[in-house]
């Protein structure tokens, strides 16, 4: 399967923050979730992907071509959703569509109005009067209406109610049935990713902590729980994160470490979900380690 998106050793420094050696890739037919705490650099990375920010060094490749000064052909194939009010707020949704549509060679009005109807976006209202969720729905309708092959979304589910979030995931799932497409999206809501993401890329303090298959990731870590009497044993195993609780302790470790432990004593071992992985890794601050 062809690589549709690739960042190679991208660096970008700002005052007080920097993206450091960002490298990951996404193939056609897959969904990649981009996670990390606030300020980790997710939006900055997406801005690099969208050519809004010029990396200090490194390369951005899309559809097998390197980003250069003229990326108009590549951008014809990208649908984007930002977590900001990028549309013209004084215009109605319909007027915004009229402004944007002519720039896309493969704009499909039928598809647009189908999504607008499905998402219940009022086209006759000014953008500034729409709720954040409705603006996001409109942005999504625009992103999906020009037969984009790569959909890039920055926090698309934030501000959406659970019902629409579920509907959105269904839409994305439908989109990805076309194996020629790929979806890259950042989010804080990790449960959404557990439903649909094939790959997870975790960014922390401007560095990639890991970029892995979701299944592989869930096999990488374990949460170990036990009583206070086992604290010394668990500490000797050098867990990534260890904390004492009212009932005993909780330790976040690599799976292979837990397998060694398991033979000696009966610990309670759980498979962490994405939120727990994110939480413990941020807590550990072991940013120098590549997982």
Q: Which helix (H) or strand (E) holds 64?
A: none
- At its nearest, how many Å lie between another protein and the CB of residue 79? 10
Q: How far apart are CA 84 and CA 262, in angstroms?
A: 48
How far apart, in Å, are the Cα atoms of 28 and each of 55, 175, 180, 210, 230? 24, 12, 6, 20, 47
Please report the beta strands in 15-164, taking only residues with DSSP state E, as ranges in sequence order: 17-27, 31-35, 57-62, 65-66, 78-81, 150-154
Q: Which is nearer to another protein, 68 or 229 (CB)?
A: 68
Q: How far apart are CA 187 and CA 185, in angstroms?
A: 7
Q: Which residues are near another protein by CB under 8 A?
A: 47, 50-54, 69-73, 75-76, 78, 80, 82, 84-91, 95, 98-100, 102-105
Q: Which is nearer to another protein, 78 or 168 (CB)?
A: 78
Q: Which of 189, 179, 210 is nearest to 281 (CA)?
A: 210
- At its nearest, how many Å lie between another protein and the CB of residue 101? 9
Find residue 59's DSSP bridge partners.
Answer: 8
Grouping H, G, I as helix, E, B as strand and the rest as coil, residue 208 is: strand
- At its nearest, how many Å lie between another protein and the CB of residue 99? 5
Q: Which is nearer to another protein, 143 or 251 (CB)?
A: 143
Six-digit token string for 40: 């980790």
- At its nearest, how many Å lie between another protein and the CB of residue 82? 7
Q: Which is nearer to another protein, 43 or 157 (CB)?
A: 43
Q: Which is nearer to another protein, 70 or 256 (CB)?
A: 70
- At its nearest, how many Å lie between another protein and the CB of residue 63? 13
């Amino acid at each position: 399967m062809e690589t549709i998106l690739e960042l190679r050793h991208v660096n970008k420094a700002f005052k007080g923050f920097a993206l450091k050696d960002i490298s990951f890739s996404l193939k056609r037919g897959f969904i990649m979730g981009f996670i990390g705490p606030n300020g980790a650099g997710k939006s900055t990375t997406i801005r690099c992907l969208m050519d809004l920010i010029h990396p200090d060094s490194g390369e951005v490749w899309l559809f097998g071509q390197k980003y250069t000064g003229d990326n108009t052909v590549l951008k014809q194939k990208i649908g984007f959703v930002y977590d900001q009010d990028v549309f013209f707020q004084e215009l109605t949704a319909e007027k915004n569509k009229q402004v944007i549509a002519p720039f896309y060679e493969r704009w499909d009005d039928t598809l647009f109005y189908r999504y607008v109807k499905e998402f219940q976006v009022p086209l006759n209202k000014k953008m500034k009067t729409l709720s954040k969720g409705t603006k996001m729905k409109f942005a999504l309708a625009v992103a999906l209406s020009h037969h984009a092959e790569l959909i890039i979304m920055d926090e698309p589910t934030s501000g959406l109610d659970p019902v629409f979030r579920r509907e959105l995931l269904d839409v994305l799932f439908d989109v990805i049935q076309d194996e020629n497409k790929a979806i890259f999206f950042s989010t804080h809501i990790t449960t959404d990713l557990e439903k649909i993401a094939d790959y997870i890329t975790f960014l922390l303090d401007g560095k990639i902590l890991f970029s892995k298959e979701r299944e592989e990731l869930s096999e990488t870590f374990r949460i170990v729980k036990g009583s206070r009497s086992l604290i010394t044993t668990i500490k000797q195993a050098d867990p990534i994160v260890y904390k004492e609780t009212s009932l005993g302790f909780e330790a976040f470790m690599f799976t292979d470490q837990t397998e060694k432990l398991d033979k000696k004593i009966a610990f309670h071992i759980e498979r962490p979900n994405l939120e727990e992985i994110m939480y413990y890794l941020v807590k550990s601050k072991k940013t120098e380690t590549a997982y």
